[in-house]
Structure 1
Amino acid sequence: MEITFLGTGSGMPSKNRNVSSLALKMLQERDEVWLFDCGEATQHQIMKTTIKPRKIAKIFITHMHGDHVLGLPGLLSSRSFQDGESAVELYGPPSLKEFVETSLKTTGTHLNYPLIFKPIAEGIIYQDQDIKVSAKKLQHGMPSYAYKIEEADKIGPLLPERLKKLGVSPGPIYETIKNQPTTVLPNGTEVHRNDVTGPDIPGRRIAICGDTKPVESLAQWVQGVDVLIHEATFMEADEQLANDYSHSTAADATRLAKKAQVNYLLMNHISSRYQQDLLEDEQTRLKDIFSPLQFVEDFMEFTVK
């Protein structure tokens, strides 16, 4: 799993930061890219990366403010000309469907692939044998959501010494043993997978939060995730502004990360009023509260381990 930040600014684009969008690349796991938010010019940002639009299988919208959705019609249209023929699932508030369909209709845009709309509410919104996605409502003056992506645990590694004691030599039989609960050897011996594998490998977990005021219950919901991606529109000195506009400060995000005992905090949706030197000073200060954390930048990539 790799995260590519396509837009890390808030409200409107600046010279250094485009508006909100990030890509979760799962090319090895499922040969797909999932997009979270799609602000204006997201497709231009994608062109500066190795991401192939035809690989985008799901798009998750946190809320319907323009800096999170205005790039969506253009991206969907361009995908038709970039060998994109497989369906795209669109997850978001119920009004997402009307916005997309109206935009495509009034511009005479015809897609050569189907769109599948998935209106969201709190709870599990997608699940298969390998991964689960949940949504939680936030506080932002309009419906805004956080998404949590959770991989299923993986079967632990085979323990060769235990297999050796059972007379199992290395070979294709190893894969057979790992892929099924019980394997019967040619001599009639039953090998139970749980007896010859190590502890399960925990699946990775990522939480991606839309715009929001601090939400008390969010700490429990994101408890212990590997990566928390949270808005930091304002610095702590502008806490009143954050409250007035239903946003969070970087300090709010940091306190949440500490309370939830997450492994890593990445902060985005940063106001253009803050220059890089101020962000560096604020980041250094906040590390006294929680670490590791980082203000992200456009095109930054982060591998989830």
Structure 2
Amino acid sequence: MHIQFLGTGAGMPSKSRNVSSLALKLLEERGTIWLFDCGEATQHQILHTTIKPRKIEKVFITHLHGDHIYGLPGLLGSRSFLGGDQPLTLYGPKGLKEWVQLTFQTSQTHLNYTIEFVEVEEGGVFEDEDFIVTAMPLQHVIPCFGYRVVQKPLQGALQFEKAQALGVPKGPLLGQLKNGYDIRLEDGTMIRSKDVTNPPQKGFTVAILGDTRYCENAVKLSQDADIIIHEATFDHSTRELASNYGHSTNMDAANIALKAGVQNLLLNHLSARFFPQDIERMLKEVKSVIPHSFIANDLEEFCWSHGNLEIVKK
């Protein structure tokens, strides 16, 4: 699984940071991409990546502030122009469907695919055989949600030599065993999948939080996750502003991760008030609490593999 940040700034774009959007790249897991928020110029940011809009299967919106949604109509329209014909599901708070449909109606935008709208409330918003996504309300100045994405346990690898020794021939029966199904051989022998496969492997869990003050729901969504993606609009010296505007400081994010028992923290949604030396200081402060922390930059990509989170080298 890869995470690529398309915009890491707060409120409005700056010369160094676009507004909020990130891509959860599930190309190995399901051949698709999930987008979280879609601020202004997100599709322009995508031009600088390997992301293909037609591969975007789901878009999760945390809240309806402009720096999180103003890029959505353009991206959805371009997805159609670029050959995207598969259905797309759009998740978000009440009002998102009305806004998108009114925008399309006013601009006479026509799509070559269908959009399923899911109005997010607290609880499960999506589940299939591979993933579960749940949402909880956070504490911002308008309704805002955080999302917890859980990959279900992965089927253990097939012990090919052991299966052969039990008389399983090459062919589709091996595939059935690998996929967790018991089989019966021609002579009537029953072979159980669990006897010829390794134990299931734990999938990943990532918490992607929208704009929020420090709150308990952020801890609940993040509990024992592998990765937290958390805003850091302010720092400790501006903590009163953070509270007034429904945002968090860098240390709020660190304390959420600490309380939730999470070792990997990615910070985004930084105010343009901070200069590079401020960013370095903020990261140093966070690392004193959560050593494996990063402050993400636009277009930066992170890879989660074998229990480790690392920056993808360009």
Tell me the equivalent position of 1:115.
Answer: 115
- Where does 1:272-291 land on structure 2 (aligned, <5 Å)? 272-291=272-291
Aligned residues: 305
**Which range moved further: 207-216 or 27-36?**
27-36
Tell me the equivalent position of 2:240.
Answer: 240
**Which range moved further: 91-100 or 28-37?**
28-37
Cα distance in structure 1, aligned partners of 2:106 and 2:181? 55
Displacement, 1:217? 3.5
Tell me the equivalent position of 2:5.
Answer: 5
Tell me the equivalent position of 1:84.
Answer: 84
Cα distance in structure 2, aligned partners of 1:57 and 1:158? 30
Is 2:201 the partner of 1:201?
Answer: yes
Tell me the equivalent position of 2:292.
Answer: 292
| SS of corresponding position for 1:211 | coil
Tell me the equivalent position of 2:308.
Answer: none
Cα distance in structure 2, aligned partners of 1:108 and 1:162? 61
Cα distance in structure 2, aligned partners of 1:172 and 1:107? 52
Cα distance in structure 2, aligned partners of 1:269 and 1:165? 56
| SS of corresponding position for 1:50 | coil
Is 2:140 the partner of 1:137?
Answer: no
Displacement, 1:288? 1.5
Query: What code does the residue aligned with 1:34 have?
Result: W
Assess, with a 3 A threshold, how the Cα gap between structure 1 residues 77 and 170 changes in structure 2: closer, same or farther.
closer
Identity percentage of aligned residues: 48
Gapped regions of structure 2 (runs ≥ 5): 306-314
Displacement, 1:237? 1.5
Cα distance in structure 2, aligned partners of 1:43 and 1:65? 18
- Where does 1:17-56 land on structure 2 (aligned, <5 Å)? 17-56=17-56
Tell me the equivalent position of 1:266.
Answer: 266
Cα distance in structure 1, aligned partners of 2:273 and 2:258? 26
Cα distance in structure 1, aligned partners of 2:67 and 2:282? 25
- Where does 1:55-204 land on structure 2 (aligned, <5 Å)? 55-159=55-159, 162-163=162-163, 166-167=166-167, 173-204=173-204
**Which range moved further: 274-283 or 131-140?**
274-283
Cα distance in structure 2, aligned partners of 1:251 and 1:70? 29
**Which range moved further: 153-162 or 239-248?**
153-162
Coordinate RMSD, CA, aligned: 1.7
Displacement, 1:58? 1.0
TM-score, normalised relative to structure 1 = 0.94
Assess, with a 3 A threshold, how the Cα gap between structure 1 residues 154 and 272 changes in structure 2: closer, same or farther.
same
Cα distance in structure 1, aligned partners of 2:4 and 2:263? 18
